Amino acid sequence: MDFQISDRIQTIVSMINEFVDKELIPLEPEFMTRSFKEMLPVLREKQILVKKMELWAPNFPSDCGGMGLSLLEHGLVSEALGRSPLGHYVFWCQAPDAGNVEILHAHGTDAQKQRWLNPLVAGEIRSCFAMTEVDMPGSNPVMLETTAVKDGDDYIINGHKWYTSSADGAEFAIVMAVTDPEAPKYLQASMIIVPTDTKGFNHIRNIPVMGHEGDDYLSHAEIMFEGCRVPRENLLGAEGHGFVMAQERLGPGRIHHCMRWLGICRRAFDLMCRRANTRVISPSGKTLATRQTIQNWISESAAELEAARLLTLNSAWQIDNVGASEARDSISMIKFVVANTMGRIVDRALQVHGGLGMTDDTILAWFFRHERAARIYDGADEVHKTSLAKRILKTYT
Ligand SMILES: Cc1cc2nc3c(=O)[nH]c(=O)nc-3n(C[C@H](O)[C@H](O)[C@H](O)COP(=O)(O)OP(=O)(O)OC[C@H]3O[C@@H](n4cnc5c(N)ncnc54)[C@H](O)[C@@H]3O)c2cc1C
C-alpha cells in the first residue's frame, strides 16, 4: 500500500480547502434558510470560479471534460469538499450525477453520450437514478415490480419508485426496470434512460425527509411510471445487465460517499474542539475542554476518524491497484464503519454545543438531519455486515 500523495494532488486539495472556507462555508447560513432553487444563482457564480480554477468535475473522465482523477485522488478531493454540504455540487461531482456519468461513459452509445453525457459533465443538465420502489425492499433489489415491456420500437414502463434523489429539476432518469421476468434473477432488469418530460413520468411529490421536503437538487422524489413510453434506443448497455452495471459502480461510489462523510467528520470535529476550548462553564473561567467527558469524546473521535480514514484510503488504493473484486471485503467494511463513525462524531459535536447545536446557527443540526440516512442508503449497514460475515465464515469451513 502506498498512500503517498503527489504534489499536484496536495496543491489541488489545499486549493479546495481554501475555496470551501472562503467561498462556500460563508454561504451556509443562507443555504439553511432558503430553498435550493433560490441558492442556484450564487452557486452558479461559484461554479464559474471553479471552472476558471480548472477544478471542474474532478472525478469525471478527462475524455468527456472532467479532470480524470484516480479513485484515491478523488477520495481526498471528496473529503475536502465534504466539509460543506455545498462542496460536491459546486465542484460538480455530486451524487447521483457522478454515478450516472460513470454508467453512461462505460455503457452509453455514441448517440446517448452526445445527448446525455456531454451536457451532464458540462453542468448544463442534471440527472437522477430510479431504482428503489415504494412497495418492495430496497435491501433486496432483485425484487423489483417496475416493468419495461417492449412495444414495437419502444419500451412501456410501469412502476412506483421513490427516493429518486434530485429528480426535481433533472433532465433525465436512469430507471431500473424488469425487462425479462423469466430470466435468472440477476439478469431480469435493465437500465433505461427516461427523459423526465416523457408522458407517464409522473413526479408525485418531493418526500418530506426529517421534516424537510427540499427542492431541486436537494430533494428525494416519489415517481409513478404510468404507460411511460420511451424508444428502445434508450436502453443503457445490454438488456438484462442492469444489476451487473449497478454492481460495477458500487465500489467507486462507496469511496466517494465515505470520503465525503469523512469530510463531514472533520468539520464536526473542528467545531467540537473549537467550542470545547472557548465555552466557559465556570465562574473561574474553566472551559468545557477541561472536562474529562469532553476530552474522552475528542480523543475517541480523533482515533475513530483516523481509523475510518485509513480503512477508506486502503479500500480506494485496493480498487485502483488490484480491482474492486479483490477489495470486496474492504468495500463492505467502510460502508458501516464510516457511516457510524460520522453518526457518533456529529452527535458528540452537537452535544458539546448544547442548545446551540440544535439550532441552525451551526451546520451540525443540518448534518445530523441529513446524514442519518448514511446507514440506510447505498445498502443498509445490516446487509453489508451479513454479506461480509458470510464471506468471512466461508473461509473457516
Ligand atoms: C436519503 C436517501 C437517498 C436515497 N437515494 C436513492 C436514489 O437516488 N435512488 C434510489 O433508487 N434509491 C435511493 N434511496 C433508497 C435506498 O437505496 C433504500 O432506502 C435502501 O436500499 C433500503 O431499502 P428500503 O428503504 O426499501 O428498506 P428495506 O429493504 O425495507 O429494509 C429496512 C431495514 O431492514 C433491515 N434489513 C434489510 N435487509 C436486512 C437483512 N438482510 N439483514 C438484516 N437487516 C436487514 C435494515 O436495517 C434496513 O434499513 C435513498 C434512500 C435515502 C434514505
Give the integer Cα–Cα distance in Å for 89 and 169: 14
- Please choose from 377, 381, 386, 387 the residue to mutate so as to test ligand 1's pocket, defined by most ligand atoms within 8 A of CB: 377
Q: Which atom of ligand 1 is nearest to the CA of 136?
A: 26
Provide the CATH number for the domain around residue 226: 2.40.110.10
Of 108, 95, 106, 229, the C-alpha closest to 163 is 95
217 assigned to some structural domain:
yes
| The pLDDT value given to residue 253 | 85
- 193, 257: one domain: no
- 180, 285: one domain: no
CB 322 within 8 A of CB 285: no
166 lines ligand 1 (CB under 6 A): no
In the predicted structure, residue 233 carries a pLDDT above the cut 80? yes
All cell numbers assigned to 113: 453520450
Q: Which atom of ligand 1 is nearest to the CA of 166?
A: 8
- 325, 388: one domain: yes
Tens-place pLDDT, residues 303-319? 999 999 999 999 998 99
108 assigned to some structural domain:
no
**Domain containing residue 78:** 7-101
15 assigned to some structural domain:
yes
Average pLDDT over residues 89-100: 96
- 84, 189: one domain: no
| The pLDDT value given to residue 4 | 83
163 lines ligand 1 (CB under 6 A): yes
- 206, 67: one domain: no
SS3 label, residue 107: helix
113 assigned to some structural domain:
no
| The pLDDT value given to residue 66 | 93
137 lines ligand 1 (CB under 6 A): yes
87 assigned to some structural domain:
yes
- 227, 248: one domain: no
382 lines ligand 1 (CB under 6 A): yes
Q: For residue 369, how far is the Cα from the chain centroid?
A: 15
Q: Look over the chain and give the mean of its residue pLDDT values, rounded to a whole number.
A: 96
The pairing of strands 154-165 and 127-130 is unpaired
- 388, 261: one domain: yes
212 lines ligand 1 (CB under 6 A): no
Give the integer Cα–Cα distance in Å for 156 and 227: 6
Average pLDDT over residues 243-252: 86
Q: Which atom of ligand 1 is nearest to the CA of 130?
A: 11
201 lines ligand 1 (CB under 6 A): no
- 177, 82: one domain: no
- 132, 225: one domain: yes
Number of domains in the chain: 3
Provide the CATH number for the domain around residue 93: 1.10.540.10
- Which band of pLDDT confidence, cut at 50, 70 and 90, is reported for residue 124? very high
- Which band of pLDDT confidence, cut at 50, 70 and 90, is reported for residue 2? confident
| The pLDDT value given to residue 271 | 98
User: Which of 58, 83, 101 lies at the terminal end of a domain, its last residue?
Assistant: 101
| The pLDDT value given to residue 338 | 98
Q: For residue 17, how far is the Cα from the chain centroid?
A: 19
Q: Is the pTM of this model over 0.85?
A: yes
122 assigned to some structural domain:
no
- 286, 341: one domain: yes
115 assigned to some structural domain:
no
Provide the CATH number for the domain around residue 323: 1.20.140.10
386 lines ligand 1 (CB under 6 A): yes
3-state secondary structure 122-140: HCCCCEEEECCECCCCCCC
Query: Residue 215: what residue type?
Result: D
Average pLDDT over residues 117-144: 96
Task: Classify residue 320 by burial, with Cβ atoms within 10 Å: 0-12, 13-18, 19+.
Answer: middle
User: How far is ligand 1, taken at its centre, from the CA of residue 132, in Å?
Assistant: 8
168 assigned to some structural domain:
yes
Angle at 98 between CA 96 and CA 103, to 5 degrees: 95
- 215, 254: one domain: no
- Which band of pLDDT confidence, cut at 50, 70 and 90, is reported for residue 156? very high
% of the chain at pLDDT higher than 90? 92
- 135, 217: one domain: yes
Query: Residue 295: what residue type?
Result: Q
| The pLDDT value given to residue 3 | 75
User: Which of 219, 236, 253 lies at the terminal end of a domain, its last residue?
Assistant: 236
| The pLDDT value given to residue 5 | 87
User: Which of 236, 252, 275 lies at the terminal end of a domain, its last residue?
Assistant: 236
Read off the DSSP letter of residue 34. Answer: S
